[in-house]
Every structure is written in structure tokens, then in C-alpha cells.
Amino acid sequence: MASVSVHQFAPCITCHAWSPDQSMIAFCPNNNEVHIYKMLEGKWEKIHVLHKHDQIVSGIDWSRRTDQIVTVSHDRNSYVWSQEASEWVPTLVILRLNRAALCVQWSPKENKFAVGSGAKTVCVCYYEQENNWWVSKIIRKRHDSSVTSIAWHPNNILLATTSTDGKCRVFSTFIKGVDTKHTSSGSDSKFGEQIMQLDLSHSWTFGIRWSPSGNTLAYAGHDSMIYFVEEIGPSPSAQSVAFRDLPLRDVLFLSERMVIGVGYDCNPMVFTADERGLWSFLRFLDERKQTSNAKYDSQLSGTFGKLYGQSKSGSNESNESSRIRAHDNCITSVVPLKKTRDATVTTFTTAGLDGKVVTWDLQKQQDLMEYLQG
Amino acid sequence: MANSLRLYLTCIRNTLDAALCLQNFPCQEVERHNKPEVELKTSPELLLNPVVYGPLVLICRNEAEKCLIETSINSLCISLKVKQSDELENILTKKFLRFLSMRAEAFQVLRRKPVQSFHTFLMVVGYSTVYYTQGYDISFLITNYHCEDMQKQKLIEFIVQFMEDIDKEISELKLSVNTRGRLVATEFLKQFI
């Protein structure tokens, strides 16, 4: 079994993030709080509750080096929390948003973070030492609809976004005074400059990520497709992989050649690239029993003979019960847990609407190990 | 007969399986609000934003029975038109479904008013004109919050079960009305023997 541990933290989890030493987990239990749990003596204990937002917290990220947590919420606010003594102290970030914030991520150097919002804008925030607060610069007028997901390139300058208008865009977020000028990135060093726009999907797009080297981009479309883009620039080359199952919500690069997609199937999907660089769907990560594939026919005949006055929230599923999956409901986020020296991820966690956080370890999966080396 | 019902329900079940992929989505038009986007579309004064809406799917079993499924990013609306073969069934269906819709809070996923189709046409009756709106008999509104609280498979099961039960219910009601009518008439006319 690829899943190492399953733990039910809350009825429903919106988003989650791990501390730098992987001992603590911060997540939002589908309300306006952030709960931080720590593993003490083999049991998860709630050690902190961060209570500052008015509406549901839609994004959490925990920085590795500076040990700060950034949270964004549907109430248009964002806070950066730092640990002082044993308390978490919030610092308000002036985002200047007039709609909900949907996603957040620290940049690789952790001197900036980006926020995607329902105001069709992306805010890039940096710390101003003189005034002792976080200031944001906004990328406006580029998106036609809500920005659902963002991802930083390893060079700390390029930012990729996905939106409900179906397009994927890459911007430069060079800020004078914060970023050092890179000769390799060329002359596109203006803040908010759009490097690339891709219109591959007919439906909403979510879950964008860069590969560890920054050469490949992957994102998921709601039309049950996953897109892989290479050669980011004026003429990118893209591959679209369609799959039979329900759409994905989030993706994660485990190595240059392996991607995990999670979504409405409640089961992580493994996509791999062969030697020629062609991506395809390999398999589901969670083993499934064969009997559950006998789907709808047996279900229908079973329920025909069933009771007439069924309870409102649904009938028994006793003839569909052979479904041993870690998650019961849609998986909303996937976060890496352990990285090897060459940035390959071997352990990661998924959290979903069922409130469970499942840890997956790929050390024992023989058929996947060859893709992890690549 | 039973065969076409089975196919109809399987089709609806498969469509719902694909369409019930909902997520929490804050309103783009109004700050700090979270509305079912499928409802927003039917409100004429708000700007229609084609981006967040999904296609409409109409599944017809025959001319009299159909099912409309409207999707959006955070909500789903399923409207049903139940078979009504004669006037009595018409009245019974209307009364029964109205009874259910009025108690929509207990059902959680029910909508208080069935969705009216966009096709309205004029009928000139005597010296007055009447607007005749083709509508559906009952509508379900499922939002992402329902998907978070309840399991998707169970929700689909409930809807499909409901559709099967409706036909049975209506025919049972019709039968009991006829039986009762016969009994009452017999009793009443006995006095004239």
C-alpha cells in the first residue's frame, strides 16, 4: 500500500501545509480558523488555533527557512504569522483586494509571496524593512476571471497562474530592491510582464506547478485533462493528456518525470514521462478491488428491490462497499513532505473534503522508482 | 417499459457523477459573498458571465418526461418533468410536489420552486392573452456545501431513488383516489335504491 498513514483531523479540510521539520501541520477545517497540530507521543495534539480571519481560509503556506505561515482568506485579507515565544503573532498584509483571495505560495527564496484572487488579479507581496510591513504589487488587467492557482519558478522571478477562464499565463515578477537582476532571464524584467499565455483548455483550470528544474509546467483542466508545457517562452510546446476519470484539483511534481494529480476521484493519479518526454497516465496510487468496477448495473438492480421509504441522505451502499480507498471525498490539495537532495519528492500528503490527511510513501512502489531517479 | 426507465436513470446517474464535481467558489460579482453560481445565471439583472457556467444537459425519456441538468463551478440544478398522462395525474403531481417543495428545508437539496424554462409563449384565450411558461415539476439545487457534508454517491443515489419513487407514488395516489371515489359514490347512491 502506498498510503502510510491516515488521520482524520476535522469534518472537512480546505488546505494544509507542513512545518519545515515536518513535525507540525497547519490546516483550515473549512472555517475561518487555522489549526496547528503537533505529533506528541504518537498522537496528534492541537497546539495552536490561529483566529484572525472572518471567512474561510482558502490558502496556507509555511516557509521553510524563515518559519513563517502566510494565510489568505475569502474575506480579502492576508496575514503573515511568525512564532514569538510560544504564540503565533499575525502581521496584516495590505493586499488591496476587493474580492476573495483564493491561493497563496511563498517564493523559493521566501522574500516574496503571491496571492491569486477572485478580483481577476495576482498580488505579489514583499517585506518593506523601513516601514516594517508587507506591501503588495498587483498584476491587473491580464486575467479574464478568477485566478485559481499560482506557482513560482525556481528562479524566484517567474510566476505561473491558472484561471477560471481556462488559460494559463506566466508573468515576470521582478521587483527592484528585492530581486537581483538575472542576466539569463533576458530583458523581460518588468514587473507584471506577461511572458506567455496558453489557451489549451475549454474549461476551468486549476493546480499549476513547475517541475523541480523549472523546465516543465503542469496544470489540470476541469475537462479531465492535464497539460504539460515545455520551453516556456514565445513558442512553448504543450502536451495534453486526457483521461477517463473525474477531473483533477491539484498536481505535484515528484521528479522531472513523474507527476501526481489529485481530484474528484479520491485517488491520486500517477502521470509519467517516458525517455522521449511523452507524458501519459500510468496508474492510480491507491489499489482498488476489481469488484467495485461492476458499477451501476448491480447498484441499480440492488436498489430497485430496496426499501421504498429511504432516508433522505441516501441509501445503503452495501453492495458497493468493496472500495478500500484512503479518501472518501474529493482530494483538494497535495503537499510534498520529504525531498531528497536533488529535489525529488518521495513522500507527500493529500488532504480532502473528508477531513483526512493521508501520507503517501513511494519507497516501496517498485514500478515508480525508475521515474523518481529521472 | 422498465428497460427505458433503467436506461434513463443510468444516463442521469452517469451525468450526475461527472457534474457533481463542485468546489467552493466565492462570488466574483459581489465581495465577501458566496452564491450558487447556477442560480446567479437565472437572475436577469446581474451580468451573465459565461466563464463560470457549465453547459446545460437535457435528458429526455420521451416527450412527457425529461430532466434538465444545469451545472456551474459551485452548484448544480436538476429539474425534473414527471409523466402526467391525464388530468387527474396532473393535479396529483402538482399537489404532491408542491407539498414536498414547501418543506424544502427538511430535504436540504430541494429547491422551493421548480425551474421555469426560458421558452414562454403567448396563448390568446378569448379576449385575454395568457403567458404560458413551460416549466419543470420539481428542482433540486445541490451546492458544494452539500458535497462537503454528504457523500457524492449518496446524493446521486437519493436523486435517482426519488425519480423512481415519484412514479410509484403518483400511481398509488391515483389508485387510492379512484378507489375512494368509487366507495363514496357507492355509499351515496345506496340511499336511492
Q: Residues 27 to 46 of A: which have CB under 8 A from any B CB?
A: 30
Is B33 or B119 the better-scoring residue by pLDDT? Answer: B33
Residue A23 in 3-state DSSP?
coil
Q: B52, A313: Cβ pair inside 8 Å?
A: no
Residues B52 and B25 sit within 8 Å (Cβ to Cβ): yes
Q: With 80 as the cut, is the pLDDT of residue A308 above it?
A: no
Q: Residues 289 to 328 of A: which have CB under 8 A from any B CB?
A: 296, 299-300, 303-304, 308, 310, 312-315, 317, 320, 328
pTM of the predicted model as reported, rounded to 2 decimal places: 0.83
Report residue A364 as a C-alpha cell: 516501496
pLDDT of residue A40: 87
Q: Which of B55, B52, B56, B57 is nearest to B74 (CA)?
A: B52
Task: For residue B176, count CB atoms less than 10 angstroms from its CB and return exposed for 0-12, middle for 13-18, buried for 19 or more.
Answer: exposed
ipTM: 0.82
Q: With 70 as the cut, is the pLDDT of residue A329 above it?
A: yes
Report, as an integer, the average pLDDT of A158-165: 91
Measured between CB atoms, does A144 come within 8 Å of chain B?
A: yes
Residue A25 in 3-state DSSP?
strand
**Reported confidence tier of residue A130, pLDDT bands at 50, 70, 90:** confident
Count of other CB atoms within 10 angstroms of residue A133: 14
Q: Which of A239, A243, A276, A238 is nearest to A257 (CA)?
A: A276
Measured between CB atoms, does B10 come within 8 Å of chain A?
A: yes
**Reported confidence tier of residue B132, pLDDT bands at 50, 70, 90:** low
Residue pLDDT, tens place only, A229-281: 998 888 889 999 999 899 999 999 999 999 999 999 989 999 999 888 899 99
CB pairs under 8 A between A and B: 102
Q: With 80 as the cut, is the pLDDT of residue A187 above it?
A: no
